[in-house]
Structure 1
Amino acid sequence: MQRGVSHWNTDASQPLAHASVGDALRSAAERRRDATAIISVGPPRSECTFSGLYSNAERAARALLASFQPGECVAIWAPNTPEWLVLQYGVALAGLHLLPVNPACAARDLAHQLGRVGAVGIFVAAGHRSAAMIEQVAQIRHELPKLRKVVSFSDWTAFIESGSPTERFPTVQAQEPWLIEFTSGTTGLPKPALLHHTGMINSSRWVAERMDVSPDDRWLNFLPLFYVAGGVIANFAALQAGATQVLLPFEPGACLRAIESERCSLFIAPATILRMLLEHADLTSTDLRTLRLITTGGMRCPPELFRMAEQAFRVHLTAMYGQTEACGIVAQSRPDDDVHDRAETVGQPLPHVELAIVEPESGDRVGSGQDGEIRVRGYQVCAGYLGMPEATAATIDADGWLHTGDLGALDERGYLRIGGRLKEMINRAGVKIAPAEVEELLASHPKVAEVAVLGLPDAKWGEVVGAAVRPHAGSVPTEAELTAFCRRHLAPFKTPRHWLFLEEIPRTISGKVEREKVRKLLSACIRCTWGVTIVPEIFAIIPAASSRMRAMDEPFQWASKAASSR
């Protein structure tokens, strides 16, 4: 750490692994041959050893090479299954590029992604959804001249048996791009980031080290495999540590049951999922004694929620920070860090990661503890956006620094505190307001479960603060109550001027707040003569309008889930 300046120098005391994903799988199969690599909770429940996983991946690679050439791109459009992982490793061994697609993706978005990367093949989910998904592909196929092959996982056995046993695998270099991940697109159109083997293998390796993962661990992985957190970080960290990965799609009750029945010891979860688990009726009756660690990431976790989760699960929580363009994780705290550091920061940067906090406009480094844009440099920075040189140059500068667009502060010890997105800063008459500061305060209110804060256009001030709130079940906070709470702890100009109370805050599949959707809901608000913010067709005031003054302190009728997802 450079004293007095927010700059973390690269820690190169441990060597980088110059290995491909296929190399990592092969090494794990040699070291942990007959140990259990994957447990699929099902139904039906199934298990696979490390050697079995490698053998199946080889068969998949041979089948892929019978239809595709190294360097071409194939897509996976399916939920979490063991076959998903086998195909993923098969693609790596075959020297192909992989495009994971959200199974909830609409046909229009699917066509955009497949066309954008020039995908030549796609594998779709098995079961009752398979026919509908194949039909969707058929509807858009005329837009995809490069798409040659569509395979259903219902025909998986026949597919992996179609390869030649004498097929030789290509040599895959560790620095080659392999995974094409579309960014979340919470502030704009998703962009296809090119992630390379070196970045993914080393980033996940350091994650396993920070979490003290061992072959004795059982890692519950319910994160979507089509995102970096599930398909790369959790998956490859468990693989390289020789731990067993317990795989299932996310559903709170099913996850709690899996912790008990499969004796899971750790998992990664964004704050949204932590809340869902904490609020589930089965939590108190579930045997959680095998759990030893939970790591949260993907978004800021309010300190109050962090401490609630530690108490409920009776384990230490750690936090991580990363970005798709950084091949996953940039910084992560350790289980033995001080509780304040674990709750308030995301720990120190991973090995071989250089990190600086800068003034966004000038690029000058700020002082220790001061807020600025987080920029990172090192092995983990992606190869850019596929076919988008201008967007790449705007994100990764000539000196190799990745401009994350995230706000943060670095203390003298190198512990990183996250402060939200640069583009989310609210500009009220030239004064910058960080939504994260207001969100953190409101999240500490006993009646508030979740909150999203953002700027809304205002004729006088340019922008003013708006807040969308999801209350705790059975709680009925009012606008007046929360406004008074904010004014006790914040400057008046930081206090939200517009409020919405929702059953659900709109989020992406990865759990990030869909701020544009929230902004549209807030912007649709009208200001009634008695001062209560309502949304036409979404909210109703209780009691009747004749009691206008009394209505100011009465609860709203919460928005329906359908309304919040518009």
Structure 2
Amino acid sequence: MSSHRTIGPDGPHRWRTDSAGPPPESIPRLLDRILATAADHPALPWPADDRMSFGELAGAAGAVAHALAAITKPGARVAIRSTLSPEWVILHYACALSGRIAAPFDPAWTDDEVRQAAELSTPAVAFTGPASTGGTALHGVPARELAALREWAWAAPTAGLPEIRATDPYLIRFTSGARTATVLSQCAALDAARAATGIDVWPNPSPYQRLSDLCHVVLGGLVHAAGAVRSGAGSG
């Protein structure tokens, strides 16, 4: 069962559930299953000269998750405004591990669109990178440099992580121009990534136009690896 809700200026106001798809599973639980059998499997197909394994991704995302937990509450929105990079993906996983909600801002947005997205999503913290504006703040939201994400996490205070459920809210998907937004649960985001299986969206430096592209760039490696693990188990 997959769930998502639509939000407006007054916050979440509608849930919709669908019965299609595999049994619901949280991102941390699926990642744990992959780590048990394929920790050395490449999690990202880029950059070609330094491909990150699932073990490395989990270590980096876990450190960032504990650092996020020290400065935000569960369910807090984390604005992410940058073109695609390993840190961009790590931060999305860190949000999943920590029970925070990732709010990716399109770096191509105008200043008015950024302001509107910030008002709509009310992020507690922001991380900005190349091709984005905002400097040290994003319309009043404290901002950090995304490129220094891992260094910040290793040096920052830490806190414990909550138990994560498959239906916990995970990802804010803004419509064109940031006029409205939809909140996807963890299992709904995994479903969207599965829907993009076989589509070549990896090289897209700004995968904000289609929901399937966005979820596949973040979670495609995870759902592909899960499929490979199931296939291997079935052939044994």
Q: How does 1:230-379 map to 2 (within 5 A)?
A: 230-242=213-225
* Residue 32 in structure 1 maps to residue 38 in structure 2: yes
* Residue number in structure 2 paired with 1:229: 212
How much does 1:164 deviate? 4.7
* Residue number in structure 2 paired with 1:201: 190
Taking the aligned partners of 1:77 and 1:46, their CA distance within structure 2 comes to 23
* Residue number in structure 1 paired with 2:174: 182
Which of 1 and 2 has higher RCO (CA within 8 Å, sep 6+)? 2
How much does 1:238 deviate? 2.8
How much does 1:228 deviate? 2.2
How much does 1:31 deviate? 2.5
Taking the aligned partners of 1:75 and 1:56, their CA distance within structure 2 comes to 19
Taking the aligned partners of 2:36 and 2:23, their CA distance within structure 1 comes to 17
Taking the aligned partners of 1:17 and 1:150, their CA distance within structure 2 comes to 37
Q: State which of 57, 61, 78 in structure 2 corresponds to 1:74.
A: 78
* Residue number in structure 1 paired with 2:234: none
* Residue 22 in structure 1 maps to residue 28 in structure 2: yes
How much does 1:18 deviate? 1.9
Aligned partners of 1:95 and 1:172 also within 8 Å: yes
* Residue number in structure 2 paired with 1:56: 60
Aligned partners of 2:87 and 2:147 also within 8 Å: no
Q: State which of 75, 88, 91 in structure 2 corresponds to 1:87.
A: 91
* Residue number in structure 2 paired with 1:317: none
Tell me, what secondary structure is at the counterpart of 1:39?
coil
Query: What does the per-residue CA deviation read over 1:498-551, in whole Å, with 9 as the maximum and x for residues that have no partner?
Result: xxxxxxxxxxxxxxxxxxxxxxxxxxxxxxxxxxxxxxxxxxxxxxxxxxxxxx
Taking the aligned partners of 1:157 and 1:173, their CA distance within structure 2 comes to 25
Aligned partners of 1:66 and 1:164 also within 8 Å: yes
Taking the aligned partners of 2:148 and 2:218, their CA distance within structure 1 comes to 24
Tell me, what secondary structure is at the counterpart of 1:170?
coil
How much does 1:72 deviate? 0.9
Amino acid at match of 1:241: H
Aligned partners of 2:80 and 2:103 also within 8 Å: yes
Cα gap change, 1:164 to 1:29, in 2 (>3 Å): farther
Taking the aligned partners of 1:35 and 1:135, their CA distance within structure 2 comes to 36
Taking the aligned partners of 1:231 and 1:81, their CA distance within structure 2 comes to 13
In structure 2, list runs of 5 or more residues that go unmatched.
1-17, 227-236
Taking the aligned partners of 2:43 and 2:175, their CA distance within structure 1 comes to 29
TM-score (normalizing by structure 2): 0.76
* Residue 134 in structure 1 maps to residue 140 in structure 2: no
TM-score (normalizing by structure 1): 0.34
Query: What does the per-residue CA deviation read over 1:199-235, in whole Å, with 9 as the maximum and x for residues that have no partner?
Result: 2223433554xx4x9xxxxx66023344523331354
* Residue number in structure 2 paired with 1:192: 181
How much does 1:23 deviate? 2.0
* Residue number in structure 2 paired with 1:347: none
Tell me, what secondary structure is at the counterpart of 1:198?
helix
Taking the aligned partners of 2:80 and 2:19, their CA distance within structure 1 comes to 36
Tell me, what secondary structure is at the counterpart of 1:17?
coil
* Residue 41 in structure 1 maps to residue 47 in structure 2: yes
Query: What does the per-residue CA deviation read over 1:262-297, in whole Å, with 9 as the maximum and x for residues that have no partner?
Result: xxxxxxxxxxxxxxxxxxxxxxxxxxxxxxxxxxxx
* Residue number in structure 1 paired with 2:164: 172
Aligned partners of 1:28 and 1:240 also within 8 Å: no
Which structure's CA Rg is the greater one? 1
Cα gap change, 1:204 to 1:171, in 2 (>3 Å): same
How much does 1:97 deviate? 0.9
Aligned partners of 2:201 and 2:213 also within 8 Å: no
Tell me how large the CA RMSD over aligned residues is. Answer: 2.8
Amino acid at match of 1:22: P
How much does 1:11 deviate? 8.7
Q: State which of 112, 133, 137 in structure 1 corresponds to 2:116.
A: 112
Cα gap change, 1:172 to 1:225, in 2 (>3 Å): farther
Taking the aligned partners of 2:135 and 2:157, their CA distance within structure 1 comes to 30
Tell me, what secondary structure is at the counterpart of 1:74?
strand
Taking the aligned partners of 2:38 and 2:195, their CA distance within structure 1 comes to 19
**Aligned residues: percent identity?**
21
Aligned residues: 207
Aligned partners of 2:169 and 2:184 also within 8 Å: yes
* Residue number in structure 2 paired with 1:428: none
Taking the aligned partners of 1:91 and 1:11, their CA distance within structure 2 comes to 25
How much does 1:66 deviate? 1.4
Aligned partners of 1:183 and 1:192 also within 8 Å: yes
Aligned partners of 1:73 and 1:118 also within 8 Å: yes
Q: Which has the higher helix share?
A: 2
Taking the aligned partners of 1:117 and 1:27, their CA distance within structure 2 comes to 31
Taking the aligned partners of 1:178 and 1:222, their CA distance within structure 2 comes to 24
Taking the aligned partners of 1:100 and 1:57, their CA distance within structure 2 comes to 16
Tell me, what secondary structure is at the counterpart of 1:242?
helix
Aligned partners of 2:136 and 2:144 also within 8 Å: no
Aligned partners of 1:59 and 1:163 also within 8 Å: no
Query: What does the per-residue CA deviation read over 1:289-340, in whole Å, with 9 as the maximum and x for residues that have no partner?
Result: xxxxxxxxxxxxxxxxxxxxxxxxxxxxxxxxxxxxxxxxxxxxxxxxxxxx
Aligned partners of 1:36 and 1:48 also within 8 Å: yes
Tell me, what secondary structure is at the counterpart of 1:37?
coil
* Residue number in structure 2 paired with 1:99: 103
